Amino acid sequence: MITFSAELEKKGFKSIILGNGFGMSYDVATGEKYFNWNTLLDLCDIDEGSKIHQLLTENSFDFELVHQKMNNAIDVINMYSGDSKLIQELEQQIQFLREQLIIAVSRSHPSSFTIELGEVENKKRQQRVRQCRKFLFNFERVFSLNYDLLLYWVRCFENDFLGKDSFDKIDGKLVFSPDNNANFLFPHGSLFTYRDGIGALKCQSSKAKPILARLESNINDGHFPMCISEGTGKQKLEAIKSNHYLNFSYNKIKESKGTLFTFGCSFLDSKDDHIIRAMLESPADKIVVGEYRPSKRNYHRLELAFASLQEEMETKKEIVIADTDGTCIW
């Protein structure tokens, strides 16, 4: 079995796409259980079969889109009938949706992001961040498919900012501004990005109002984060193309040269076929698919996922399935 670490030591231009395994590797290093989830819905207390669950399902689990549709429904009911009972029910459901997203945000992030630790624990945290940054320095460009704040936290730790993310401060707001030199990109959005028409805004934080508190405040005010969650690869791609920032980030995968790595991306059930297609369209010579201790079944599943799309797209890239066990990130 080829190892991820051995591939990483080879020279040349490298980029990486991070999946949920990035957060799970943090859990392993710290002995915690915060990142063992795939979608925001996993973190919510929403009953399957409920009306709100049905709405989320029909709208690819896009919390913001469901919130918008419910508000639009209230406007229409007010105009045509003014049915106060139905309006009241919808308003209660909107508040419930906001509360559930706040629950999801709070459950997805370790308390160590914000609390003051003792001297020993603080040194451990600093060392973990330094080690993660050392890992990230291997890559000219980093893409994240995750919605959580882990990479945000690493990049902004103690105000020692790492890299560029294509957001500029304009009139007091962090606004998406296309930057071909940006090296941290989020093609599925994140908890700290917001739609701004067809563009995007980035959430700002400060010592007085940390990022988690800022997110909760924004959600309470009806400003939902931009997260491309459930659905097929085709559905996700349609959502990506509808937003300039997401599309810009996605297209940068297609520009990747040298070796393109993935870490912690499961590529299950064709849900991220659009990401595989972008990698295969790129001028990269090799794709290294990182998988933790891959079983024979997972090895062949990943091999087949890439081979079938290579055949369809008539590409002949070198695909390597590499074991990420032993890769030192934290």
SS3 9: coil
Q: Of 107, 128, 159, which marks where a domain is finished?
A: 107
Q: Of 83, 107, 131, which marks where a domain is finished?
A: 107
Q: What pLDDT was estimated at residue 115?
A: 65
Same domain assignment for residues 265 and 178: yes
Same domain assignment for residues 224 and 96: no
Same domain assignment for residues 234 and 247: yes
Among 12, 272, 284, smallest CA distance to 139 is for: 12
Domain, as residue range, for 50: 41-107
Q: Which two tokens stand for residue 261?
A: 């790595």
* Distant-in-sequence, close-in-space partners of 243: CB < 8 Å, separation ≥ 6: 189, 195, 198, 199, 200, 226
Same domain assignment for residues 137 and 254: yes
Distance CA 294, CA 300 (A): 9
- Distance linking the first and last C-alpha atoms of the chain: 23
User: pTM here?
Assistant: 0.87
Q: Of 71, 89, 107, which marks where a domain is finished?
A: 107
Same domain assignment for residues 100 and 167: no
Looking at the domain assignment, is residue 188 inside a domain? yes
Same domain assignment for residues 133 and 207: yes
**For 13-44, how does the pLDDT look when each residue is reduced to its tens digit (9 = 90+)?**
999 999 999 999 999 998 888 888 777 788 88
Distance CA 42, CA 188 (A): 17
Q: What percent of the chain lies above the pLDDT cut of 90?
A: 61
Q: Which residue stretches of the chain are H helix?
A: 4-8, 21-30, 51-58, 63-80, 84-107, 119-136, 150-156, 211-220, 233-241, 244-253, 273-281, 296-313
Q: Which two tokens stand for residue 103?
A: 């629950």
Looking at the domain assignment, is residue 202 inside a domain? yes
Distance CA 227, CA 207 (A): 25
The DSSP secondary structure of 112-127, one letter per residue, reads GGTSPPPHHHHHHHHH
What's the half-sphere exposure (Cβ side, CA atoms, 13 Å) at 205? 19
Total structural domains in the chain?
A: 2
Q: What pLDDT was estimated at residue 160?
A: 87
Q: What pLDDT was estimated at residue 34?
A: 84
Same domain assignment for residues 58 and 156: no
Q: What pLDDT was estimated at residue 222?
A: 82
Looking at the domain assignment, is residue 328 inside a domain? no
Looking at the domain assignment, is residue 234 inside a domain? yes
Same domain assignment for residues 246 and 99: no
Q: Tokens 């491309």 label which residue?
A: 228
Looking at the domain assignment, is residue 329 inside a domain? no
Looking at the domain assignment, is residue 330 inside a domain? no
Q: Please check whether residue 217 is in contact with residue 244, taking contact to mean a CB–CB distance below 8 angstroms.
A: no
Same domain assignment for residues 180 and 270: yes
Same domain assignment for residues 169 and 306: yes
178-185: list long-range contacts, CB under 8 Å, 24+ apart: 178/244, 178/248, 182/252, 183/139, 183/140, 183/141, 183/142, 184/141, 184/142, 184/144, 184/151, 184/155, 185/141, 185/142, 185/143, 185/144, 185/248, 185/249, 185/252
Same domain assignment for residues 17 and 149: yes
pLDDT, one tens digit for every residue, the chain (330 residues): 899 999 999 999 999 999 999 999 999 998 888 888 777 788 888 999 899 999 988 887 778 788 889 989 999 998 888 778 999 999 999 989 888 888 887 787 776 666 666 788 888 889 999 999 999 999 999 999 998 889 999 998 888 889 999 999 999 999 999 999 999 999 999 989 999 988 999 998 877 778 888 888 888 888 888 888 766 788 889 989 999 999 999 999 999 999 999 999 989 888 899 999 999 999 999 999 999 999 999 999 999 999 999 999 999 999 999 999 999 999
SS3 243: coil
Looking at the domain assignment, is residue 10 inside a domain? yes
Same domain assignment for residues 240 and 260: yes
Q: Indicate the length of the chain as a whole number.
A: 330
Distance CA 272, CA 57 (A): 18
